Chain A
Amino acid sequence: MEKERISNIQLFLHLSGFLFGSTVILSPARGAKNDAWLAILLGGAGGVLLTWVYAALATLNPSKTLVDILREKFGNIAGSIISVLYIWYFIHLTSLVMRDFGEFICTATFPQTPMIVVIGLFAIVLVYVVNSGIEVMGRLGELLVPVIPIVIGIISLSLITTHDFTAFLPILENGMEPVITAAFSFISLPFGETVVFLMLFKHLNKTDKLKKIVIVTAIISVIMGVLVFFRDISVLGSDLVTRATFVPHLVSLLIPGLNVEPLVDINLLIGGGVKISVCIYAAARAVSQVAHIDDYRKLTGAITTFCVVLSLWEYENQIEMFNWAEKVWPYYSIPFQIIIPLLMLLLSLRSGKRKSTAS
């Protein structure tokens, strides 16, 4: 199990798929209306820094997972307790993504299908993927993630005639405040969520380029985010962008003479699939390490089932989900995404220094 390896390009694609997983259906930072592009750039800058922190943490602690690092830095008991909190966080994140996915399919594609069928069938496939191991996940990413930019390209180019390129004006009509709020939530979703990759980084076959890969991926996803935002707003206008439930889906409905809605579904299946499988893998690995179970595969089925049930149970309705994702999730995530990783980084830097002075 320890011999499993993924290559640089596989990590790059997996990370991009992960960062794009939710943004393919929920347009990020739309609380800032026409200034969302500023929020994406600002939040993106923060996001790049944050992902750099995770990469630095992984390079300072080579061949260690998040659980190993936590135990080393905070001691066995405290480390295990924090690990359990992280496991909860990963499971919660999985259920959120599943619910996003289910809500989208039930709104846009299969309005009469019960959500449990949609999420359940998807979960069965993902359990199979996760059980096949990290190498299979990597290769699957290599195969599927390149489809996402192709689909985005197809949709954007088909709409080039209906663009109104001045729709994002005026700049900063409502001042800086909504921009900063939106930027902050953009940092935590999706960039902060890459904290789950701390469970995966040790499988990278060449760790020397880790920081570079992570930062390049983050920058690319910021650029994609800005481009997609300009496409959306110039096609829909600022008012409709803020009112639409799923912006990219609505955009795809507007292509003249063509029905390409399923393309958005494909993007979602790929992005969401990458995101959920990484989260389930991370949660299962973390549980197996904390509880000293030799094979994480024994746990994936149980964890996924739990996530499916949780995802159906956690919100009463769709608006509650959006509200929670926008107003509560970023703050709820602060300790997991920012405070604990930063603490670990500081501790790692100190012990690293001590080691170098000792030798």
Chain B
Amino acid sequence: MMCRKIKKRTDRVLIACLLVFLLFLTGCWSRRDLTEISIVAGIGLDRTEDGKIILTVQVVEPAAVQSTASGKGGSAQQKPVFAESYEGETVYDAVRGILSVVDKKMFFGSAQVLIIGERLAQDGIEEVLDYFIRDHDFDYEIYILVAKDTTPMEIFEMETDIDAIPSVYIYGTVDNTESRGTVKKTMLIDLIKEMSGNEKQFAIGSITKAGEMRVKTEGVAVFRDGKLAGWMDRYETRGYLFAMDKIKNAIINVPAGNGKIAMEIMRSKGKISVEFNNGELSALIVNVKVYANVGEYKGKGRLETPDSLYELEKALGEEIRKEITMAVEKTQKEYCSDIFGFGSYVRKYHPRYWKKAKRDWLAIFSELPVIVNVDAKAERVGIVMSPIE
């Protein structure tokens, strides 16, 4: 009897304890509700003339986005995004300083793009990126772009009618490079990997303004030792991406008679290597193999014999070879920057040679001849064979 009573009492104590534990389940220690944060969609970094960092953020107003999306908007409607900037000695200083003009704490996990201003790029970007790597709030898959002939603030202030949130629109244009191959999709993590080690220089996709309400993401910015060395246009960029095995799909125009044939690249495999002759580096090699289909025949001609396709293959290979050669030679002669990672290749596969060549690698690199081998295959012609006669 007594025993049962005691047992009952201990049960009660146990239940009371369990109820107390419930208090711990109410939420996280440093929880932040949606209404208490500023949702950042895009980040911009630039530098003032006296060397300070300008941080620009594009912040989303969720409620306003919804009313824009549903089309109910009246004239007195709130804008779905706003842009704000702040100057600071360091990036983090500016991140916190910006709170003196914006009320809610920034949430950076949702940021889609990081745009770097031209001046900052010229001064070197390696040191400003440390904050984005070190802070645990950032998405390592954020897209990085360099603004050409414009500033991050200008881009973020732009009002576009394509998407309620401009950063999402920019993100989308970078993402669709899969079907055109004219801008390099640069994620933060890729950039960190490319930046590490002194043998590799890097390239970042570029963004320009195209009219009042549009941007254009085309071409890349080439960096040498972390500083902007120059730009490459969309054809050179495509050549670069072919060599780096980053092309998923692209359209190459091949001259045919007095017209042009647009070839659609279906698959592409790119590989770089080097050639040695008597223990000395003698040439840089790029090997590319592509499979393509005929996408469009603009002009008059016939595509009925196998021979016509063989010729097309040759011409296609020649076009791609030209683009790649153009890209490599430009980086060698004009920018002196090894964005292809030939140095990294030498370090991996010829470590002994690398040890003595490492010091003046860029000088060696820029003098070497380039051999580009393109093996192009034209496979199919589409729904019709020949164009209208």
Contacting A at CB under 8 A, from B185-207, are: 189, 192-193, 196-197
Q: Any chain A CB within 8 A of the CB of B347?
A: yes
Residues on the A chain within 8 Å of B136, using CB: 107-108, 111
Given A111-B136, A239-B197, does the pair A170, B29 have CB atoms closer than 8 Å?
A: no
CB of A169 within 8 A of CB of B30, answer no
Given A110-B29, A110-B30, A236-B193, does the pair A254, B351 have CB atoms closer than 8 Å?
A: no
CB of A253 within 8 A of CB of B140, answer yes
Measured between alpha carbons, how far is A35 from B108 in the docked complex, in Å?
36
Report the contact-size class of chain A (Cβ under 8 Å from the partner). Answer: 20 to 34
Closest partner residue, chain B, to A113 (CB atom): B29
CB of B140 within 8 A of CB of A254, answer yes
Residues on the A chain within 8 Å of B11, using CB: none
CB of A237 within 8 A of CB of B30, answer no
Closest partner residue, chain B, to A170 (CB atom): B351
A234 to B: closest C-beta gap in Å: 11
Q: Any chain B CB within 8 A of the CB of A112?
A: yes
A347 to B: closest C-beta gap in Å: 48
Q: What 1/0 mask marks residues of chain B from 175 to 192 whose CB sits below 8 Å from any chain A CB?
A: 000000000000001001
Given A112-B30, A170-B349, A170-B351, does the pair A237, B193 have CB atoms closer than 8 Å?
A: yes
Contacting B at CB under 8 A, from A111-149, are: 111-113, 117
Q: Any chain B CB within 8 A of the CB of A177?
A: no
Closest partner residue, chain B, to A241 (CB atom): B196
Measured between alpha carbons, how far is A292 from B164 in the docked complex, in Å?
75
Q: What 1/0 mask marks residues of chain B from 28 to 40 whose CB sits below 8 Å from any chain A CB?
A: 1110000000000
Q: Any chain A CB within 8 A of the CB of B5?
A: no
B256 to A: closest C-beta gap in Å: 37
Q: Any chain A CB within 8 A of the CB of B348?
A: yes
Q: What 1/0 mask marks residues of chain A from 33 to 77 whose CB sits below 8 Å from any chain B CB?
A: 000000000000000000000000000000000000000000000
CB of A170 within 8 A of CB of B347, answer yes
CB of A240 within 8 A of CB of B192, answer yes
B107 to A: closest C-beta gap in Å: 14
Measured between alpha carbons, how far is A170 from B358 in the docked complex, in Å?
14
Measured between alpha carbons, how far is A58 from B377 in the docked complex, in Å?
68
Closest partner residue, chain B, to A236 (CB atom): B193
CB of A256 within 8 A of CB of B30, answer no
Measured between alpha carbons, how far is A112 from B136 in the docked complex, in Å?
12
Residues on the B chain within 8 Å of A256, using CB: 141
B129 to A: closest C-beta gap in Å: 13
Most B C-beta atoms less than 10 A away, residue of A107, A237, A254? A237
Most B C-beta atoms less than 10 A away, residue of A108, A171, A173? A173
CB of A237 within 8 A of CB of B196, answer yes
Residues on the A chain within 8 Å of B140, using CB: 253-254
Closest partner residue, chain B, to A166 (CB atom): B348
A120 to B: closest C-beta gap in Å: 12
Q: What 1/0 mask marks residues of chain B from 85 to 120 whose CB sits below 8 Å from any chain A CB?
A: 000000000000000000000000000000000000
Q: What 1/0 mask marks residues of chain B from 10 to 50 whose CB sits below 8 Å from any chain A CB?
A: 00000000000000000011100000000000000000000
Residues on the A chain within 8 Å of B141, using CB: 254, 256
Given A254-B140, A254-B189, A256-B141, does the pair A111, B349 have CB atoms closer than 8 Å?
A: no
Residues on the B chain within 8 Å of A253, using CB: 140
Residues on the B chain within 8 Å of A107, using CB: 136
Measured between alpha carbons, how far is A169 from B197 in the docked complex, in Å?
13
Residues on the B chain within 8 Å of A173, using CB: 347, 351
B28 to A: closest C-beta gap in Å: 8
CB of A111 within 8 A of CB of B30, answer yes
Contacting B at CB under 8 A, from A77-112, are: 107-108, 110-112
Residues on the B chain within 8 Å of A237, using CB: 193, 196
Measured between alpha carbons, how far is A256 from B175 in the docked complex, in Å?
14
Closest partner residue, chain B, to A107 (CB atom): B136
Residues on the A chain within 8 Å of B28, using CB: 110
Residues on the A chain within 8 Å of B193, using CB: 236-237, 239-240
Contacting B at CB under 8 A, from A194-242, are: 236-240
Residues on the B chain within 8 Å of A240, using CB: 192-193, 196
CB of A112 within 8 A of CB of B29, answer yes
Residues on the A chain within 8 Å of B192, using CB: 240
B137 to A: closest C-beta gap in Å: 9
Residues on the B chain within 8 Å of A238, using CB: 196-197
Closest partner residue, chain A, to B137 (CB atom): A111
Closest partner residue, chain B, to A239 (CB atom): B196
A46 to B: closest C-beta gap in Å: 27
Residues on the B chain within 8 Å of A108, using CB: 136
Measured between alpha carbons, how far is A112 from B29 in the docked complex, in Å?
7
Measured between alpha carbons, how far is A107 from B135 in the docked complex, in Å?
10
Closest partner residue, chain B, to A109 (CB atom): B136
Contacting A at CB under 8 A, from B116-137, are: 136
A115 to B: closest C-beta gap in Å: 12
Measured between alpha carbons, how far is A110 from B354 in the docked complex, in Å?
44
Measured between alpha carbons, how far is A170 from B136 in the docked complex, in Å?
31
Closest partner residue, chain A, to B196 (CB atom): A239
Measured between alpha carbons, how far is A169 from B141 in the docked complex, in Å?
25
B106 to A: closest C-beta gap in Å: 15
Closest partner residue, chain A, to B197 (CB atom): A239
Measured between alpha carbons, how far is A238 from B193 in the docked complex, in Å?
9
Closest partner residue, chain A, to B346 (CB atom): A170
B22 to A: closest C-beta gap in Å: 15
A116 to B: closest C-beta gap in Å: 13
Measured between alpha carbons, how far is A110 from B347 in the docked complex, in Å?
40
Residues on the A chain within 8 Å of B196, using CB: 237-240, 243
Closest partner residue, chain B, to A261 (CB atom): B136
Measured between alpha carbons, how far is A236 from B196 in the docked complex, in Å?
11
B130 to A: closest C-beta gap in Å: 10
Q: What 1/0 mask marks residues of chain A from 11 to 39 whose CB sits below 8 Å from any chain B CB?
A: 00000000000000000000000000000
Measured between alpha carbons, how far is A142 from B189 in the docked complex, in Å?
37
Residues on the A chain within 8 Å of B348, using CB: 166, 169-170
Closest partner residue, chain B, to A162 (CB atom): B189
Measured between alpha carbons, how far is A197 from B232 in the docked complex, in Å?
62
A295 to B: closest C-beta gap in Å: 21
Contacting A at CB under 8 A, from B330-368, are: 347-349, 351, 354
What are 26 contact pairs spanning A and B, CB under 8 A?
A: A107-B136, A108-B136, A110-B29, A110-B30, A111-B30, A111-B136, A112-B30, A113-B29, A117-B29, A166-B348, A169-B348, A170-B347, A170-B348, A170-B349, A170-B354, A171-B351, A173-B351, A236-B193, A237-B193, A239-B196, A239-B197, A240-B192, A240-B196, A253-B140, A254-B141, A254-B189
Q: Which 5 A-B pairs have the closest CB atoms?
A: A239-B196, A170-B351, A169-B348, A112-B30, A237-B193
With A108-B136, A113-B30, A240-B192 known, 7 other A-B pairs at CB within 8 A are A110-B30, A112-B30, A117-B29, A169-B349, A239-B193, A240-B196, A256-B141
